[in-house]
Amino acid sequence: MSKEQQRQLDAISRQGRLDTAGDVQSVRAAFNNVMAQVPVAPDVQQTPVKIGGVDGIEVTIQGNASENVILYFHGGVYVIGSAATSVPLVSDLVRRSGVRAITVEYRLGPEHPYPAAIDDAHAAYGGLLAQGIAPGQIALAGDSAGGGLAVATLLALREAGTPLPSCAFLMSPYADLTLSGETLAEKEELDPVLTPAGLRARVPDYVGRADASDPRISPIFGDLTGLPPLLVQVGSHEILLSDALRLAGRSALCDVPVTLEVTPGVPHVFQGFAGLLDEAGAALDRASDFLKTHLAH
């Protein structure tokens, strides 16, 4: 990444930064407006689906057929975002990996606090199994809150005795809603996307009356033993860096096969800038290799 690329990316990120501490409906509308401007290639097919009783969008590339599937969870601090807003990034991952994806329209807070999101994620995974898709043909993936939700879903599946998917790919996972990570302060000036105040404002919307340290809300506090292989990607210029570092460390302590990739100088969910940033495309290429390897097994 050149200095010019870094300056350009930082400017774009700061210009598009949302005040997530604002009114929920206004923040949602602003985020949807920003994401609606992100182009999607004409060969990307988007099909509304209902899986396990949960709405979603199946994302495929025209002419590409695969039995393997990525079950994807979008970001948005559990309060904003949608399946539709994730399509640009999901389609890029689908193109590189050669599989199809279903991005899940899980319920959001504050209207639907914990455990609504994890219940929907669990139901969607069960819906895939009910269709006759083998666990080894499924990978979980998500960005930000969706990355944390993917791990929380793995814990819920394990507790329920449900066969686990092949692997999980996590981009900048939001995995500690107690907000105890040291990089919330250390990286605040560098992060062009998120702010500690914005995160603090939205935590009660999702946590509700639950305990934010519950592992199914903040997976870094859980026993991750028995989870499938994880790939964690994060940028060094984001306040959630410590979430990714601690999640990977916790995984290693629990004997979970985990790969941690920290890309220097890039912001939160930098993979969404694959058209601008070489490092973003390279990260998605590595993620696709990871997914293909484990789905093949």
Q: According to the model, what pLDDT value does residue 13 have?
A: 58
Of the pLDDT bands very low, low, confident and very high (cuts 50, 70, 90), residue 11 is: low
Q: Collapse the DSSP code of 259 into the 3-class scheme (helix H, G, I; strand E, B; otherwise coil) and give the result.
A: strand
CA distance 33 to 199: 21
Domain containing residue 35: CATH number? 3.40.50.1820
- For residue 83, the Cα-to-chain-centroid distance in whole angstroms is 11
Query: The whole model's pTM is what?
Result: 0.95
> Could you give phi then psi for residue 171, rounded to 5 degrees?
-105, 120
The per-residue pLDDT for range 222-265, each reduced to its tens digit, is 999 999 999 999 999 999 999 999 999 999 999 999 999 999 99
The per-residue pLDDT for range 87-101, each reduced to its tens digit, is 999 999 999 999 999
Q: Which structural domain, as residue segments, surrounds residue 256?
A: 3-14+23-296
Active site residue 188: no
Specify the pairing of strand 258-263 against strand 54-61. unpaired
Beta bridge partners of 46: 59
Name the active-site residue from 91, 144, 251, 288: 144
How many domains are contained in the chain? Answer: 1
Residues in the chain: 297
To the nearest whole percent, how much of the chain has pLDDT over 90?
84
Q: According to the model, what pLDDT value does residue 275 have?
A: 80
- For residue 256, the Cα-to-chain-centroid distance in whole angstroms is 19
The per-residue pLDDT for range 150-159, each reduced to its tens digit, is 999 999 999 9
Give burial (CB, 10 Å; 0-12/13-18/19+) of 33: exposed
Instruction: Evaluate whether 74 touches 142 at the Cβ level (below 8 Å).
Output: yes
CA distance 153 to 72: 12
Name the active-site residue from 238, 251, 279, 288: 238
